Amino acid sequence: QKEVEQDPGPLSVPEGAIVSLNCTYSNSAFQYFMWYRQYSRKGPELLMYTYSSGNKEDGRFTAQVDKSSKYISLFIRDSQPSDSATYLCAMSGSAGGTSYGKLTFGQGTILTVHP
Amino acid sequence: GAGVSQSPRYKVAKRGQDVALRCDPISGHVSLFWYQQALGQGPEFLTYFQNEAQLDKSGLPSDRFFAERPEGSVSTLKIQRTQQEDSAVYLCASSTGVFAPEAFFGQGTRLTVV
């Protein structure tokens, strides 16, 4: 079993819909939780990151972390066709350990927002 | 440059050939990572440099894979005697400090072994 599990989809939604993307993980040492967006034939682009549990909002994007359930989510409000991409969750350990920012990724969810 | 630059963007190698992939990180970034991304999968960690020191190479799949960062800036990932299973996108990422959650990725090198 992988340390980070993510449903690959694909997920297809109409423009304006609310999108919910999720990951589960098994390693309790993870402290930083990231969401990356990857367009076809491009490198991953960091959308946002959260430290430990809680919520973080940035424009149309909201990230949630529930460490007790080992479950993280990304919500996209008012989705646009330009949001069509693969969304990758990623995690790393704490600064006090030896993780030095090494990322463990989920498989990625392919999202298509159609007009 | 403003971002992480990787070259070449695409590389086709015959099985058994050696290849070298280059990464130019963001200027001043201490940490540099290499990841391998197979088709339809998330990136997987290969190796980590802090300045010129390779502190973790636990993700390198075999001794045919070798990475270096001799002056603490540009890094090269070398694959000897390439095999078909080496076909993947190789991503380089850099970040500002010893530990920084924000890692910036290059566009990757797509390696195809035929």
Question: How far, in Å, CA of A25 to CA of A5, rounded?
Answer: 6
Out of A41, A99, A105, closest to residue B43 by CB? A105
Instruction: Give the closest residue to B11 by CA, choosing from B112, B91, B87.
Output: B112
Reported as a pLDDT band with limits 50, 70 and 90, residue A98 is low
Is pLDDT of B1 > 70? no
Residues in A touching B23 (Cβ below 8 Å) = none
Task: Confirm if A54 and A71 have CB atoms less than 8 A apart.
Answer: no
Whole-number Å distance between alpha carbons of A34 and B54 = 24
Look at the block and give the residue holding tokens 């946002």.
Answer: A48
Q: β-pairing, A109-114 with A11-14?
A: parallel
Partner A contacted by B63 (CB < 8 A) = no
* Rounded-to-integer distance, Cα B25 and Cα B92, Å: 8
pLDDT of residue A10: 94
Q: What is the pLDDT of residue A94?
A: 60
Q: Which residues of A touch B35 (CB under 8 A)?
A: 103
Instruction: Give CA separation, B106 vs A11, A38, A68, in Å.
Output: 26, 11, 34
**Which residues 68-97 in chain B show a CB within 8 A of chain A?**
91, 93, 95
Binary contact (A102, B56; C-beta < 8 A): yes
Give B102's pLDDT tier (boundaries 50, 70, 90). Answer: confident
With CB atoms and an 8 Å threshold, state whether A44 touches B105. yes
pLDDT-above-70 percentage for chain A: 95
The pLDDT score that the predictor gives to residue A101 is 81
In angstroms, the separation between the Cα of residue A4 and the nearest Cα of chain B is 10
Q: What is the mean pLDDT of chain B?
A: 95
CB atoms within 10 A of CB A78: 12
pLDDT above 80: residue B86: yes
- B88 or B99, which is more confident? B88
**pLDDT at residue A93 greater than cutoff 70:** yes
User: Residue B97 pLDDT > 60, yes or no?
Assistant: yes
Lowest mean pLDDT: which of A41-55, B1-15, B97-111?
Answer: B97-111
- Is residue A22 predicted with pLDDT exceeding 60? yes
pLDDT per residue as tens digits for the range B23-71 = 999 999 999 999 999 999 999 999 999 999 999 999 999 999 999 999 9
pLDDT band at A95 (very low <50, low <70, confident <90, very high): low
Q: How many CB pairs lie under 8 A apart between chains A and B?
A: 68
